[in-house]
Structure 1
Amino acid sequence: MTVHSVTDRVVAEPAGAARAAAFDHALDVLRDRRDEFNAARFVPRDFIALLKRSGMYRASTPNRFGGEPMAPADFMKMVERISAVDPATGWVSSFGSSLVYFAALPVESQAMIYADGPDVAYAGGLFPMQEAEKVPGGYLCSGVWQFASGCRGADIIGIGLAGGPDTGGKPLTALVRPEDVEIIENWAVAGMKATGSHAVRADRVFVPEAMTFVRGGPPQIDEPLTRYPSLAYAAQVLSVVTLGAARGALDYVVEVGAARSSITGGSSKGNRPAYKNGVARAEAELRSARAFFYETTESVWRQAVLGETISAEDRALLRLSATHAAHVGRSVVLAAFDLAGTGAIYETHPLQRFLQDALVPAQHAMLQTNTFEAAGAVLLGLDAGIPSFP
């Protein structure tokens, strides 16, 4: 399956100053259009094209196919900066990391996907896993899959299939072209509206077996990024959205608190003891969670680059740092909301964007509170109690 981009074969700007400028331009456009994206409930294709120009959609394409794989920390810092402007768009941009899953495909299949270039936008609506009819050469797929974030701007979509004897019972992801499925616009939510995480429906769509893979399965290409734990990375790129949201919220209350006077003409909010204390505590919590998150990421990345064994404990720490960041980030946004006072309850208040979106990542199955227990179990040498953890 050669991917014909819905964004008209947009390619990244040359690495260096031009690409950095493209990213800064995308952030400027986002500041102007984030309300539009929120109202439309999806990030449009023309903005995905801007992110492609910034290199985000070749950041996990293997080097051998023209990609320019980024160190996870470097990629996630880009997601974090986007999320500080608009968390929902940050969530969509985070899936620039998800081509790491394709490394489990046969090499020939990967070559077909990247035949027209390395800048590929992928969206996955994987659940619930559906039974597919096995036919010669592949599967006939029918069903409805939920939570396909970014599907309105994707070049390729993944759907989840229940595994069988051929896969050792492990579920499969089947890759389909967007035009072969129907997008069901059912994303009626309070937070992360602009992610466009609609459902997708397929009706007896044939998917060649060579275009299916076990999510997180053994990579068929050996590069540093394919050695980095893919499922942990999937949790991290969602978690870092909350760190960005917390940064955006905290920057707002610092700016307001630094004003010389309040809206009533009285002393600045920042002069109030509770405000100063709240800002300081939130800043310390955010920076501490962020330090743990990136310290763990960079430690495991060094092992991947050197080809060293990445242990279950290493992967558990990645998952723990991701869960911790999502929950701390959420608490920082709530602290900023408290500091902002009554005005923050209005729908049009700047903090509402961060509040509504920042509550969502920690609700994700990969970041819920039970993953704290699972990480602790692995660190103690016990069974995690959660499938595919860490």
Structure 2
Amino acid sequence: MTTVQMRSAPADRTAVGELARSAAEHREHGERHGTLHPLVWAALEQSVLPRVALPAHCGGLEWPVQQILDAVRQVALADPAAGWVAAIHAPAGAFLARLDPDTARTLAGRSPVIAGSSMPAGTVVPHGDRVRLSGRWPLVTGAPAMTLAALAAPHTIDQGTVTRWWLVPREDLEVEEDWDALGLRGSASHTVVTCATSVPVAHSIALTDPPRTDTPLFRYPLYGLMAGCIAAVAQATAERALSAFATLAEGTRTRHTSGTLAQQGHVQGAFARASGRVSAAVALLETATARAWAAALEGEVPPGERALLRSACCQMAEAAEHACRDLFDAAGSAAIHRANGLESCWRDAVVISRHALVADRGRQLAGAFELTSTAAKDL
């Protein structure tokens, strides 16, 4: 195992702030065209986000986890679709910590932007120390910006069949621009295709394998890091909804009652319920993240902390969806207008909550440990 000294995280966050400002300015472009504005893609590629979880020996920054989550949330507050892209690209650099350092440096290149698909949709045909990889992988978020794709596919070896992620350069892939979803419209989560592409076996990883780089960031659970970034987008979306609702309620008068929405008792109750639900989920997420990071600073993160972390990420996604839906309902007919921003929060939150990392699988893994002390490798 290679031990690498962790670099200090940059004190200023100018690059992330510039990305957030660009994302906010061009948010409507994503809503209308299903992809971020070219200026936002450029800002993402030029920002620090693709390097925050990249190993230091690949030119990465190895930020503390909470700083990574805060950066993703900052972008998502500006535009959840851009935040979703950041949530995928930011933690993906950690994949390279599971490769031989020389191989990782070669694959990373000068400015890596890593995307991927966890659906084992491809086929692998062994060919010496290489394989021929073929398949169609849907939902590759941020495909327009990627330089490297991590694509899941089963690999049969003497010990049986395991799912490995195959790292394929962008030039060896075709992108089918087929993203057309309810929410997170600008994230360009397209399908990527490859046919009998030759990939060295050494360019593949199993996410459940231990990292080859022994620093706190890579001791932190990889699945927990990825789920945490998804949860950060959910948090930002819920906070956007609360803000949009407060503005809407203050200025909207109802037809059959006196006063504004903000003065109606049932509306006040709905807002308090949504706000409390989100605050509780945020508190749990912050606690679970801090405990897991503290453990990673000392050594291995215990299964109990991993389970709490996954549970907290799932809770955040669920709380955001419920809050956005309840606020949308409480606003009545005033919520249907796109200019209010409330309906887009509801759409985005619904899509966020369907991601596998924060949906049923994540809860099941946490519950399995809590009930049976069974710690799955992908906990």
TM-score higher than 0.5: yes
Q: Secondary structure at the match of 2:192?
A: strand
Deviations 1:137-195 (A, max 9, x none): 31111111111111111111122221211575321111112121111122222122222
Identify the residue that residue 253 of structure 2 maps to in structure 1.
262
The residue identity in structure 1 corresponding to 2:223 is: L
Q: 1:145 aligns with which of 137, 144, 164?
A: 137
Match of 1:27 in 2: 20
Q: Given the alignment of the two structures, is residue 98 of structure 1 paired with residue 92 of structure 2, yes or no?
A: yes
Q: Could you list the per-position Cα deviations for residues 111-156 of structure 1 after superposition, in whole angstroms to 9, with x for gaps in the alignment?
A: 213442xx42111034233221111231111111111111111111
- Summarize the alignment of residues 113-262 of structure 1 with structure 2, pairs less than 5 Å apart: 113-116=107-110, 119-165=111-157, 168-259=160-251, 262=253
Indicate whether 1:284 and 2:276 are aligned: yes
Q: d(CA) in 2 for partners of 1:345 and 1:132?
A: 47
Query: Residue 161 of structure 1 contacts residue 171 of structure 1 at CA under 8 Å; is this kept in 2?
Result: yes
Give the number of equivalent residue pairs. 369
5+ residue gaps, structure 1, are 1-13
- Do the aligned partners of residues 281 and 94 (structure 1) sit closer, same or farther apart at CA in structure 2, a change above 3 Å counting? same
Corresponding residue to 2:326 among 327, 332, 335: 335
Structure 1 pair 34/166, CA: closer, same or farther in 2 (3 Å)? farther
RMSD between superposed Cα atoms in Å = 2.2
367, 372, 379: which one aligns with 1:381: 372
Deviates most, 38-47 or 143-152: 38-47
| Change over 3 Å in CA distance of 1:382–1:301 after alignment to 2 | closer
Q: Tell me which moved more, 309-318 or 342-351.
A: 342-351
- The residue identity in structure 2 corresponding to 1:316 is A
Q: Deviations over 1:68-119 (max 9, x none)?
A: 1112122112212222232121110112111111211111111213442xx4
Deviations 1:216-261 (A, max 9, x none): 32211111111101012222211221111000010111123344x6
2:102 maps to which of 93, 100, 108: 108
Runs of at least 5 residues in structure 2 that lack an aligned partner in the other structure: 1-8
8 Å contact kept, 1:126–1:146: no
Residues in 1 aligned to 2:140 and 2:270: alpha-carbon distance in whole angstroms: 37
Do 1:44 and 1:153's aligned partners in 2 also have CA atoms closer than 8 Å? Answer: no
Tell me what 1:11 maps to.
none
Identity %: 23
Maintained 8 Å contact 1:52/1:58: no
Q: Deviations over 1:279-307 (max 9, x none)?
A: 22221111110010011111110111122
Superposed counterparts of 1:288-367, under 5 Å: 288-307=280-299, 309-367=300-358
TM-score, normalised on structure 2? 0.90
Aligned partner of 2:48 in structure 1 is 55
After superposing on structure 2, the runs of 4+ consecutive aligned residues of structure 1 that deviate more than 4 Å are 263-266
Q: For residue 330 of structure 2, what is the amino acid of its counterpart?
A: L
The 1:160–1:108 alpha-carbon spacing in structure 2 relative to 1, beyond 3 Å, is same
Supply the distance in 2 between the matched residues of 1:374 and 1:209 (Cα, whole angstroms).
29
Q: Quick one: distance in 1 between partners of 2:70 and 2:157?
A: 41
Distance 1:168 1:298 in 2: 37
Query: In 1, Cα distance between the equivalents of 2:302 and 2:16?
Result: 35
Amino acid aligned to 1:159: L
Does structure 2 conserve the Cα–Cα contact (< 8 Å) formed by 1:323 and 1:372? yes
Say which SS state the counterpart of residue 127 (structure 1) adopts.
coil
